Structure 1
Amino acid sequence: MGEKLICNNKKAFHDYFIEEKFEAGMVLKGTEVKSLRLGKGNLNDSFALVREGEVFLHNLHISPYAFGNRENHDPERMRKLLLHKAEINRLYGKIREKGYSVVPLRLYFKNGCIKVELGLAKGKKLYDKREDLKKKDQKREMAVALKERNK
């Protein structure tokens, strides 16, 4: 059946070095799933924390379902992530080290289930961000030069 992207977090790749990726399921309510099927999710400024052996996703915004009633969900509620115990222990060990955090990279459907891709990230300094922008500009200039040369 494949994967269908709901939303991704482009800012995470700009602000962090992604060292490792994990795939996790999420505990959701019915109206949240219906809203995500309409593409109403936003990963900006969201992060994951490990508490008491469980991983929770904070600041994931899922817009309220338009046709929901009073049982509609809170858009900014904390959501539990489903990971294997070994993965949770690995994340917890890395998070305790200085400078590491867990950020969601993308939210997608996989075989009918909603999954979130988490990245074990280390923050970039300002000069790292500038260097990335320079590399991006150089690639763009090379592509334009190649296109002009092939005409």
Structure 2
Amino acid sequence: MDTTQKINRTEEEWKSMLTPQQYHVLREKGTDAPFTGKLTYNKDKGTYYCAACGNELFTSDMKFDSSCGWPSFDKEIAGGKIKTARDLSHGMVRTEIMCAKCGSHLGHLFDDGPTSTGLRYCVNSTSLEFKKEQK
């Protein structure tokens, strides 16, 4: 069940709110270069949010080291936080993942994860903000 309140902004509004890199990845479906993202190697406990709208997406307990070059998660926070679509770009068939609240591009979902879910949410660091757990 989708419990997310939708955000509708014009592309000009997004451009004024996001950095050029964030706009490219989140709104134009760009991709971070592998092994370069600020959150790829993050091991801190906390929560990952959509960088465009602050929608809560993943927790650190869902993150694993996939060695693929991007932050990887084996599931999402429940409640319809992420939506998917078939992506036929670049000569491949993939499942795109987007923030259900604002529609921003997050990355792709693969069925090759090593945990019990069998899933790997491969997410651009640029698409995420991280808030460290307060002790």
Please, what TM-score do these two structures have when normalized by structure 2?
A: 0.27
Task: Name the larger-Rg structure.
Answer: 1
More strand per residue: 1
